[in-house]
C-alpha cells in the first residue's frame, strides 16, 4: 500500500514539474525577435510619450530575447544597446558592467560606444583619422561635385531625434567624414571603422548589420559589423571577418577532412571487394565486417564531404541584409509611424532545411548501424567463447545475414 502511495506521489510531482516546465517553455517561446519588433521600432522615434508600463515591458522582453537569440544574428548588439538607451532601461548599467557579450574587438568597442564613449574616442580616433586620410583623396572630387560638406558638427541623436550641436568634437567630425567616404572592404574590416560607420548611419534604421558566427573551428566567436551597402556590394562573408590567426587552422581542418574522406572510402571499398569476391571468407564475422564497412563507407562518401560542404557554406556564403518595412504602432492614444527592420536568419540561407535533413539522416544511419553491428558481432564472439559446443557456424552465418 505504501509503495502505491509513494508511486502516486512521485508521479504527481513529476507531472506537476513537467507541466510547469512546459508552461515556462511555452511562455518563453512567445518571445522572439519578431515579438519585440515594435519595441525596436518605437526606440527610433520620440519615446517620451510611451507609457512607463510599456517601456518596462519592452526593456524586459528585449533583454530576454537578446540573451536567447544573440548567436543567431536575428538581433544585433548595436540594436540591443540602442533600445536599452532609447528606452532608458534599468538593466543598462548592469549590462555595461558585466560585458557578457564581449567576444572580440568589435563587440568590445560596441560596449564602449554606449558605456564608455571617451575610451572609444581615445582608442579609435587615430585609426579613423588614418583611414579617412587614405580614403578621402578618392572621394574628395565626388564630395565637391555634389557639394556635400566634408565636416559638420550637427548630428541627429538616435535617442531623442532632436538636432543638437556639439562644439569642438574631433570624433564627431571624423564620424561625419567617414559617413561621406567611400570605403574599401579592407578599410572597413577595422573594428574602429565599423563602430564609427554604425554611428555615422545609425539614424537610418537597417543601414547597419552585424555578422556573427560561433560554429567555425579554431576561430571562437566571429563578430563584426558593416554598412549595408558594403555587405551587398562586396558579398561579405564570415571569411572576411575571420581573424588571420584562425585561417590556417580552418584550411588545415578542411584538408584533414578531405584526406579522411578519401582514405575511409578507399579502405572500406577495398574491404567490401575483398570479402565479396572471396566465398571462403563469407562466415558470420565476415558478414559483420562487410556491414560495418558499408556503414563506414557512408561516413567517407557522404558524412565527411557534407562536413566539408557545411564548413565551406558557413565560411564563404555571403551574408544577406534584411528588409525594412513601414509600420504604424498604436499605444493607447499615441500612434507611432516608423520603420521596422527584419534581419535575415543566415543559417537558413547557409544550410537549408532539406540539406540539414539529408545530412542528419545519413549521419544517424551510419552511427546507428555501426553501433548495432559492433554489438551483434560482439555477442556472436561471446557465444562462440561461452558455449563453444553449442555454437554452430552455419546458424551464426544465417543469424548474421538476417540481422
Mean pLDDT of 274-286: 79
Task: Select the more confidently predicted residue: 336 or 159.
Answer: 336
Task: Select the more confidently predicted residue: 38 or 216.
Answer: 216
According to the per-residue pLDDT averaged within each range, which of 16-30, 58-72, 131-145, 385-399 is highest? 58-72
Of 51-65, 147-161, 169-183, 385-399, the poorest mean pLDDT is in 147-161
Q: How far is CA 1 from the centre of its chain?
A: 54
Split at pLDDT 50, 70, 90, the class of 73 is confident
What mean pLDDT is reported for the chain? 76
Residue with cell 555595461: 96
Nine cell digits for residue 146: 555634389
DSSP of 93-110? HHHHHH-TT--SHHHHHH
Count of other CB atoms within 10 angstroms of residue 299: 22
Residue 22 pLDDT > 80: no
Residue 41 pLDDT > 60: yes
Residue 68 pLDDT > 80: yes
Element (H, E) at 328: strand 323-331
Ordered by start, the domain boundaries in the chain are 31-237+317-351, 252-309+357-402
- Look at residue 342 in the predicted model and tell me its pLDDT: 56
Split at pLDDT 50, 70, 90, the class of 128 is confident
β-pair type (323-331, 154-156): unpaired
Total-model pTM: 0.73
Per DSSP, which regions of 199-317 are E strands?
208-213, 222-227
- Look at residue 136 in the predicted model and tell me its pLDDT: 67
Nine cell digits for residue 389: 559446443
- Look at residue 283 in the predicted model and tell me its pLDDT: 77
Q: How far apart are CA 78 and CA 97, in angstroms?
A: 17
Q: How far apart are CA 355 and CA 272, in angstroms?
A: 28
Residue 42 pLDDT > 80: no
- Look at residue 50 in the predicted model and tell me its pLDDT: 74
Nine cell digits for residue 358: 539529408
Find all residues with CB under 8 Å of 287, minimum gap 6, and list them.
397, 400, 401
Q: How far is CA 29 from the centre of its chain?
A: 19
- Look at residue 322 in the predicted model and tell me its pLDDT: 62
Element (H, E) at 155: strand 154-156
Amino acid at each position: 500500500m505504501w509503495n502505491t502511495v509513494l508511486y502516486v506521489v512521485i508521479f504527481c510531482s513529476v507531472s506537476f514539474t513537467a507541466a510547469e516546465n512546459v508552461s515556462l517553455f511555452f511562455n518563453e517561446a512567445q518571445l522572439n525577435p519578431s515579438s519585440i519588433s515594435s519595441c525596436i521600432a518605437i526606440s527610433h522615434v520620440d519615446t517620451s510619450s510611451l507609457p512607463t508600463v510599456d517601456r518596462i515591458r519592452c526593456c524586459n522582453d528585449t533583454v530576454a530575447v537578446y540573451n536567447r537569440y544573440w548567436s543567431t544574428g536575428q538581433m544585433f548588439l548595436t540594436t540591443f544597446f540602442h533600445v536599452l538607451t532609447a528606452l532608458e532601461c534599468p538593466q543598462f548599467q548592469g549590462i555595461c558592467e558585466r560585458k557578457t557579450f564581449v567576444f572580440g574587438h568589435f563587440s568590445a568597442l560596441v560596449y564602449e560606444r554606449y558605456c564608455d564613449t571617451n575610451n572609444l574616442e581615445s582608442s579609435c580616433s587615430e585609426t579613423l583619422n588614418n583611414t579617412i586620410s587614405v580614403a578621402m583623396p578618392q572621394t574628395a572630387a565626388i564630395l565637391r561635385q555634389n557639394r556635400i560638406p566634408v565636416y559638420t558638427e550637427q548630428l541627429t541623436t538616435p535617442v531623442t531625434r532632436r538636432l543638437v550641436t556639439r562644439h569642438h568634437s574631433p570624433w564627431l567630425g571624423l564620424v561625419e567624414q567617414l559617413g561621406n567616404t567611400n570605403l574599401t572592404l579592407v578599410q572597413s574590416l577595422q573594428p574602429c571603422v565599423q563602430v564609427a560607420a554604425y554611428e555615422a548611419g545609425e539614424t537610418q534604421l537597417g543601414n547597419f548589420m552585424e555578422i556573427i558566427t560561433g560554429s567555425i573551428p579554431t576561430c571562437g566567436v566571429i563578430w563584426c559589423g558593416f554598412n549595408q551597402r558594403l555587405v551587398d556590394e562586396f558579398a561579405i562573408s564570415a571569411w572576411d571577418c575571420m581573424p588571420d590567426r584562425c585561417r590556417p587552422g580552418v584550411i588545415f581542418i578542411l584538408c584533414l577532412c578531405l584526406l579522411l574522406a578519401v582514405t575511409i572510402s578507399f579502405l572500406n571499398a577495398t574491404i567490401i571487394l575483398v570479402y565479396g569476391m572471396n566465398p571462403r571468407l563469407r562466415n558470420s564475422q565476415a558478414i559483420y565486417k562487410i556491414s560495418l564497412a558499408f556503414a563506414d563507407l557512408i561516413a567517407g562518401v557522404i558524412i565527411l564531404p557534407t562536413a566539408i560542404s557545411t564548413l565551406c557554406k558557413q565560411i564563404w556564403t555571403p551574408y544577406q541584409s534584411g528588409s525594412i518595412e513601414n509600420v504604424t504602432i498604436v499605444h493607447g492614444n499615441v500612434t507611432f509611424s516608423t520603420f521596422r527592420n527584419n534581419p535575415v536568419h543566415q543559417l537558413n540561407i547557409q544550410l537549408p532545411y532539406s540539406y540539414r535533413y539529408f545530412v542528419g539522416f545519413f549521419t544517424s544511419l551510419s552511427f546507428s548501424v555501426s553501433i548495432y553491428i559492433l554489438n551483434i558481432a560482439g555477442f556472436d564472439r561471446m557465444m562462440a567463447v561461452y558455449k563453444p559446443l553449442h555454437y554452430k557456424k552455419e546458424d551464426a552465418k544465417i543469424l548474421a545475414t538476417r540481422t
